[in-house]
Amino acid sequence: MAALLHRPGGASRRPRRTAPENILGWLVLAVLSVLVGLPLLLVLAQGVAPGLGLAPDWSLRPELLGEILRRPLWQASLVNSLTLATGAMVLGGVLGTGLALLRHTVSFPGARLLDAAAWALLVSPSFVLAQGWVLFASPSGVAVSTLGLDVSHLVFSPGGLIVIMGLIKYPFAYLAASAALHWDDGSYRQAAALSGARPWTVLRTVRVPLLTPAVVSGAVLVFVDVLGDFGLPAALSAAYHYPTLPYSIYASVRQSPVSFALGGVLSFYLVLIIAAALLVYFRALRSSRYDFLTGRARRTEPPPARWPWLWSGVTGLVLLVAFGLPLGTSLQVSLSRTLHGGPVPGNLTLEHYAEVLSSGSRMLEGMGHSLSVALGAAVLTTVLGFLVGVVLTFTRFRARFLIDMAGTVALAVPGIVLAVGYIFLWNQPVLASAGLALYGQPVLLVLAGTAAALPVAVRLQLGALAQVPDSLLSAAGLSGARLATRLRTVLVPLVAPALVSAFAAVLASGIFDLAAATMLAPPSYTTLPVEILLEYDRGRYGYATAGAVLSSLLVLALAAASTILGRRLLGGAQPSGRRT
Amino acid sequence: MPLPDRSPVLAPATAALLALGLSACASGVPSAATDGADLSPSSECTAEEGALRVYLNPWGPTLSDRFTQDTGIETEIADLGGGEILARIAAEANNPQWDVVVLDGHGSLEALREQDRLLAGHTLENTGNLDSDGQELLPEDNAWVPVSRHAAAVIAYNTDRLDPQEAPTRWEDLADPAYAPLGIADPAVAAPAYPIVSWFYQELGDAGAEEFFGTLADHGLNTYEKNGPVGQALASGEVPVAALQEQNVYGLIDSGEPVDFVWPEEGAPGVVRSAAISAQTPRPCAAQKLVDWLLTPETMGHLMAEGGDDGIITPFVSGTDTSSLPEARPEDGRLLLTDASFAAENEADIKNWFADRMAQ
């Protein structure tokens, strides 16, 4: 049978290739090639053939790849990046998975806050959170001026940074595990319990194996995201010298004399590490694939906790440290005349907010520009992410591996490198003569935002799509529904929460897309992240944080509104019964 | 099982991409380059159509708005950090999207000149307005034009931590561990810090400069990405002494921070603000008009008075009204300028040395 078959157990026997799936597959591949593949290849090529695609006089110099052995800075960057990413993967993975288990095992007051906090953290730009940490912990920061505590040596150390990154990035692990726990087939657990298994045994033998793919994928996502994160080093450079790969790449393409070749070499190593991590990730996913959304699956309703207030306390503590501390610091700084003045009446002021909100303020103008760019990127990314998810999950399209790689690698490629690739690609004279000179147009920010946000959108939707058994689609197929109809009437309602989440996440994070904005914004086109970082770098912390606080509020409101609106709109299409 | 042949689900994505593509088509970029273009002096030519694209580090709209007001020529500006401007110019090598660049750091422009990226050999009508220092710096082919100079660093200190008589007065004093940790903008990253260290390299030679900065690093050298955070660290007492750009120092003093400074008698490493035109500009006439406009005392006076921190400079343009300079700025402060070719040739090596030294 050529239809989309049900996969028996873990062995995935995929359906035969058919025309519409292939068209979809090739189309998605073509779009991804332009969005991610070509720009990345152009940058990587600079590592072995400097000038390729940029100037007529390029040369092949593969020996450049060996430079890493000669430059202490690069070695330090490599070691620092690996230390940070591995540490954050362990810490964030444990924290995220633990919190997800807690959230979905028992109910207690404030449990839903964990979901909200995870989303808020995920969509909060890491550079704003990291700025909060830096302003808190720096020797002249809020910890000293307000609490009289000098925590700078504690925080500005490899261990301290691992904790910060673990706290900022744990939502990847939390959401991955939550997605798997969201639909929970109680029959397995009940069967175990009826067989006399104690709760610990049920956790160990039923829940953990069912969860393993999600936990592994969540942890790897933390690793990959930390490895490619540019926000922390960008904010950190104001206080602590800790070069990482993304920062050194950024410096090599941004500092004069600019060397794309060196940026290309470092990008090459970064992509190599990511590829290795992804290999582990895919192997883990393949070896333990479960369709546990069976006919009897239902949304879980965890029983009340035995010590609800203990868990509420844990939740409160996590929120306070992960979220309250950096954003609280930013809030305090935004209300202070000077950073080191402390919370005394004479140092309190609203002048920074007045300046941000004054008419003609560049911050407001940037907010408007960044918002419209992010909206465009959110629409494109959600649709594209869904289609990528469909191709990966439900088709046997030959080049699925390439699609998966392209969709995930962008997560680890620093935005700054992707942005440089965009200039290389879209500023080719041949495109200009064809009327496709996108470079210097705001639309390029939309495309770069889409490429940067795609991995998150894809992963979010894959988690949900992986839980939909092929049988649901094949049943619809047998009834004669076309591919599009099946996607619209069967898949979209089932994964609607993931779709809406993806849209909200991309919208919120897109507004703060620092790297793309820095490199690709047209002349005279102010953007929010550039304006915030510019003022922060200038040492105008009050104005910068006032802009960041106001924009964060705006973003949270937008994300919440689009989530509620989306759920309501899509909720109308939610199937009343399960279509098995 | 037969599957449907077309998928309307794709429609939104393709439509969106198509729309994006089409919107791009609407943007016209002049395709003409300067090869064979009219390079007659600015008063004899007619400005080309379209906005003049200016990449600039200082002055921003203060410059572009006034230029448009004075000449009627529209501009599009990219108001970016010096490093970002140079990165953009490098990335756009095969299809430059800029006509004029105004930048702090003549070494970087000299490097672009050596790569033939700058318009050269054209006539500028107002270079005669440059004083003797400016004339000395001006390359023979007018590829870049020095506009002004200012101190990339003076010796600034926190008055809560040090009495005036304890403060360092010469650059070599900074090697005294009593003044550690020293605050400075990261020479490997911050554009304004390179003119500081390049002068030491020129003055002391590679070995001498590396020994000097190595000693500073051993005692404690706190580097920051830009001068702003250096100033904040100094104001809070995190560092007792900093090599800080002069504009930042006046700002701190003005806002009542416990900061004072010494302009060493031997001089302060200076940075030269310069303007240049792209070799491939399709608007050479409008670009020349901008550069000639910059070289008038009226323009410089306006930019100094209205430019905020960017206006605290010593202009190379004779006859400029400098009454807007802050009182704290010494009138006779000597500026030490690195030779442009030296700065251009050694930039990569010097910056790499700093990056690697700080990583150890």
- Which range has the worst mean pLDDT, A127-131, A210-214, B147-151, B311-315? A210-214
How many CB atoms sit inside 10 A of residue B26's CB? 8
CB contact under 8 A, B9 and A487: yes
Reading the block at residue B192, the tokens are: 């304004």
Q: What is the pLDDT of residues A306-325, one digit of tens each?
A: 888 898 999 999 889 988 89
Most confident of A75-84, A176-185, A336-345: A75-84
Interface membership of B278 toward A (CB under 8 Å): no
Mean pLDDT within A194-216: 79
Mark A140-178 as b/e (b = at least 16 C-beta within 10 Å): bbbbbbbeeeebbeebbeeebbbbbbbbbbbbbbbbbbb
Interface membership of B17 toward A (CB under 8 Å): yes
DSSP A184-251: E-HHHHHHHHHTT--HHHHIIIIIHHHHHHHHHHHHHHHHHHHHH--HHHHHHTTT-----HHHHHHH
CB contact under 8 A, A447 and B87: no
Domain ranges of chain B: 12-150+270-341, 152-268+350-359
pLDDT number for residue A499? 83
Residues of B in contact with A539 (CB under 8 A): 226-232, 248
CB contact under 8 A, A537 and B229: yes
Reading the block at residue A191, the tokens are: 């069967």
Mean pLDDT within A187-213: 78
- Among the partner-chain residues A20, A432, A524, the one whose CB lies closest to the CB of B5 is A20
Query: Which residues of chain B fall below pLDDT 50?
Result: 1-33, 36
Amino acid type, A239: A
Mean pLDDT within A275-303: 61
Amino acid type, A120: A
Interface membership of B91 toward A (CB under 8 Å): yes
pLDDT number for residue A577? 37
pLDDT number for residue B154? 96
pLDDT number for residue B30? 39
- The chain-wide mean pLDDT, for chain A, equals 80
Does A519 have pLDDT greater than 90? no
Q: What is the pLDDT of residues A144-192, one digit of tens each?
A: 888 888 888 888 889 999 999 999 999 988 988 887 776 555 677 778 7
Min Cα distance A396 → chain B (Å) is: 14
pLDDT number for residue B219? 93
pLDDT number for residue B181? 92
Between residues A13 and B267, which one has the greater pLDDT? B267
Does A282 have pLDDT greater than 80? no
Does A484 have pLDDT greater than 90? no
Topology of the domain comprising B12-150+270-341:
D-Maltodextrin-Binding Protein; domain 2 (3.40.190)
Distance separating alpha carbons of residues A262 and A268, to the nearest angstrom: 10
Distance separating alpha carbons of residues B52 and B69, to the nearest angstrom: 14
- Can you tell me whether residue A508 is helix, strand or coil? helix
Please give the distance of CA B35 from its chain centroid, rounded to a whole number.
28
Nearest chain A alpha carbon to B190: A255
Does A362 have pLDDT greater than 80? yes
- Which range has the worst mean pLDDT, A2-6, A245-249, A267-271? A2-6
Class of domain A79-247: mainly alpha
Q: Do domains B12-150+270-341 and B152-268+350-359 have the same CATH topology?
A: yes
Does A479 have pLDDT greater than 60? yes
Domain ranges of chain A: 79-247
Distance separating alpha carbons of residues B223 and B234, to the nearest angstrom: 12
Most confident of A201-205, A263-267, A327-331: A327-331
DSSP B266-327: T-EEEEEEEEEEBTT-S-HHHHHHHHHHHTSHHHHHHHHHHSGGGG-SEESBTT---TTS-T
Q: Mutating which of A255, A430, A532 best tests the B interface, going by the most B Cβ atoms within 10 A?
A: A255
User: If pLDDT is split at 50, 70 and 90, which confidence band does A570 have?
Assistant: low
Q: What is the pLDDT of residues A534-565, one digit of tens each?
A: 888 777 889 999 999 898 888 878 877 877 87
Mean pLDDT within A276-285: 76
Kindly list the distances between the CA atom of residue A270 and the CA atoms of A165, A219, A465, in Å, as whole numbers in the listed order.
Answer: 18, 18, 29
pLDDT number for residue A237? 67
Mean pLDDT within A405-433: 76
Nearest chain B alpha carbon to A43: B91
CB contact under 8 A, B6 and A487: no
Mean pLDDT within A428-442: 81
pLDDT number for residue A576? 38
Between residues B9 and A56, which one has the greater pLDDT? A56
Interface membership of B55 toward A (CB under 8 Å): yes
Between residues A518 and A155, which one has the greater pLDDT? A155
Kindly list the distances between the CA atom of residue A217 and the CA atoms of A124, A173, A178, A395, A471, in Å, as whole numbers in the listed order.
Answer: 21, 8, 12, 21, 25
Amino acid type, A381: T
Topology of the domain comprising B152-268+350-359:
D-Maltodextrin-Binding Protein; domain 2 (3.40.190)
CB contact under 8 A, A524 and B21: no
Closest CA to A251 of B263, B238, B81, B332: B81
Query: At A337, phi and psi to the nearest 5?
Result: -65, -50
pLDDT number for residue A573? 46
